Chains A and B, each alone.
Chain A
Amino acid sequence: MARSTSRLPWGRVHPIVRRAALALLIAGVLLGLAWSGKFQRSTEVYTLVAAVLVLFLAKYAYTGLWFGLERVGVRNARGRWQARSPFLQRAVPPVVISGVVILVAWAAGLAPDLSLIVLLLITYVLYLLPSRWRGFAVPATVLALVVAYPFFIQQTNYQRFLFNLPVFNTFPSMDTMVSMIIFAMMAIGLNMVVGYAGLLDLGYVAFYAIGAYTAAWLASPHFAAYGISFDFGSVAEPAILRVGGIHLSIWLVLITAGLLTALVGVIIGLPTLRLRGDYLAIVTLGFGEILPQVARNGDKDGLGFNLTNGPPGINPIDPPGFGNWLSSHAGLPASYLSEQGVYVNFLTLMFWTALGLLLITVFCSVRLRDSRLGRAWIAIREDETAAAAMGIPLMRTKTWAYASGAFFGGIAGAWFASIKTGVFPDDFFFNISVLILCMVILGGMGNVWGVVAGAAFLEYLNLEGIANFNGWMNDHVFVCDPSKQDPSSVISGGCLNAPLVTFGIYGVIIVLVMLLRPQGLFPEQRRKLEFETGVHDTPIQDETA
């Protein structure tokens, strides 16, 4: 038997040494590339590489510290440290880590500004709170920061007060934030179907479209052509009201859109939900394709009745607002568009309302999950046959999941149409269904907070993140000559044009997540189990009453 003696006994090298070597190798390659002249030699790149490397090595230095102390004769240093108060155990490591990062940044000439330090401090205090307070304090703080966000971002030259995000450069604009929230709502809706009940739905965009078109029907001059003229609490311009059509208050529109979409969900669900697994996915995919086609062809030529106005879509839709009555009686803004403040304006109100709708969605989603119905959904996801044998009516329960998911998709769609003041059939392609599904999977199926995070992140990348990242790469990494750049190719003139391949980048992200963390970034507690192996026979908790 030939035994290769020349090969390095890689398997026998201590894993710490192995990983450290790998990290140094990667860092070396990066720095080598930077020095080769093909890429820029920028401080920012060095700093980032150094910070990651230092953090990585610090983890091993920590282990090495105890080992070293033992070797020089300090007996049981680690044990004695661990015997100290649990508070110190928790409190010290983050200080050391952030201290190292800040020092590295400082050495590179990147002075962290005050706002970064304030944010770090807030995070640190939240981290140190006893867990019974943390459960309340973390969401409350996050919510307070998000509600106050318009006041930061709408300052002129806000970068003076807020640190620049590394690599991604700027904070998301108000428009982007609103989109992120709308997609988060839809992701939560889809999560009820896919995450809770385990029904793979590839046509969720249909519900989004129905919601949007409902808003168009109920708050625009669209039906004026048929002599319908109706106004209740709308905030449309008098000129538009004179044209006719149905003009309902946006709040009623939202509720109606939700209910109508849920109804359509039931109608679509009744025949399809008898199918299982792959078959269901294909049929929902079909519905997701059919509905946008109906929207595209639902005009006089296609349908004989102008329902959707065909390819040009329905435009304008009345902007959101509380209407004159609520304005004079409760002091609420009559029309969002008429608010012109520096901080409190159309964008801010739109953002706050979307945030309110998101909170309602989260609330309902959590309440449902913890109810009799939510248990039934999870039971169906786990084992349909057993669930039926336990007295769960499969069709009815699945249809409820579908309808609840559709309800929030419809509301999100209606709000989207209302703030865009228009609805166009090309907004509802299949890729939106896939995008929302990616948000659910990336965030962590079943976990509401994970899904919100996944949706916010992907939609941010979609609208700003990838473009920002691209700009940063061209400024700091690539030797880019914009005059030689061809806008239709991904790499030209030394410049990268990443937004051209946005969906490709999603693909890479999803593949990476599936390989490295298949349960998603923030998995539902019970989903985590699915991906842990070897715990089947050994109870993790052995409690006695």
Chain B
Amino acid sequence: MTADILTTRSLHKEFGGLLAVDHVDFTIPRDSTVSLIGPNGAGKTTFFNMLTGVYKPTSGQVEFDGEDITGRPPHAITERGIGRTFQNIRLFQQMSALENVLVGMHARLRGGIFASVVRTPRIRREEEQARVTARELLAYCGLAGRGEVYARNLPYGDQRRLEVARALATQPKLLLLDEPTAGMNPQETLDFIGFVHRLREDRGLTVLLIEHDMRVVMGVSDRVTVLDYGARIAEGPPSEVQRDPRVVEAYLGTRAVASG
């Protein structure tokens, strides 16, 4: 078992002539919470999408849990243990909260087409067990009793929570959260920081976070990586990164530029 659950080697992505991610080397140690920050357009989400198989890297390598997963399809990567949420909520709007979580369990259930039609005792047990687990997950994410509500009818904060519940249902070893607190009010954000801590303690999850809210980043991360124009410009504990002149420059611009 490797010490780093995820390693990227010189991961690179270009869209036509546009450089999105520039030869990034990056590691996530097991059982840690790592944040990926950077100004808008820095390539964070592209990087995320390469880890989860939505995009194929132009070059470079992604290794997860000791296995090369570069260019594998998204479902295969999810099956190996990377769960994710989306920056803009992408729930299955016309499915109930419970069904959303059940879809998340897809890779962990076995029911094939013939067994589903016949509904064999094994399938029946599996489905019942899945429903119990799904309800537990909903309760864990603060959605107890909301299982039958259609996702689109949930309030915004609950939709965010449901995205996490759905991602947890894939039984990930590594959870990728793409701006999970976007649009949350300060109290919800605070609750969310507590929730990420609980995830680590209860479930032994490794978490990779894309985040803009510095309180969240400082509150939960063991380590912060900063991207700017697709390249990694800084890495280290939150307190150090915060003071790094290159990071300040990337976010605020240099004094010369700002004044001139």
Residues of A bordering B, CB below 8 Å:
363-364, 367-368, 371-376, 378-379, 382-383, 385-394, 400, 404, 526-527, 529-530, 535-541, 543-545
Contacts and interface: CB of A to CB of B under 8 A. Distances in A.
Contact of B106 (A383, A392, A539): A392
B111 interface: yes
Interface residues of B, number: 48
Contact of A529 (B73, B152, B155): B152
Contact of A527 (B94, B106, B108, B148): B94
A379 B104 CA distance: 10
Contacts of B149: 539-541, 543
A400 B113 contact: yes
**Nearest 6 CB-CB pairs, A to B?**
A545-B145, A391-B107, A371-B116, A391-B78, A388-B74, A526-B94
24 contacts: A364-B117, A371-B116, A372-B102, A372-B111, A374-B116, A375-B102, A375-B106, A378-B94, A379-B106, A383-B92, A388-B53, A390-B75, A390-B104, A390-B170, A391-B108, A393-B75, A529-B93, A529-B94, A529-B153, A530-B94, A539-B149, A539-B153, A540-B149, A545-B144
Contacts of A530: 94
Given A383-B90, A386-B90, A391-B79, A541 B148 contact: yes
Nearest to A364: B117
A386 B91 CA distance: 7
Interface in B106-146: 106-109, 111-113, 116-117, 119, 123, 127, 139, 144-146
Contacts of B154: 539
A393 B107 CA distance: 9
B54 A404 contact: no
Contacts of A537: 155-156
B103 interface: yes
B193 interface: no
B116 A368 contact: yes
A540 B153 contact: yes
A534 to B, nearest CB: 11
B218 interface: no
Contacts of A387: 92, 103
A367 B123 CA distance: 12
Interface string B70-108: 000111101100001010001111110001001110111
A544 B145 contact: yes
A392 B75 contact: yes
B148 A390 contact: no
B166 interface: yes
B153 A382 contact: no
B52 interface: yes
Interface string B7-34: 0000000000000000000000000000
Contacts of A539: 149, 153-155
B260 to A, nearest CB: 43
Contacts of B195: none
Contact of A389 (B74, B94, B116): B74
B150 interface: yes
A99 to B, nearest CB: 39
A390 B54 contact: no
A541 to B, nearest CB: 5
A320 B146 CA distance: 52
A476 B92 CA distance: 52
Nearest to A545: B145
Contacts of B93: 382-383, 529
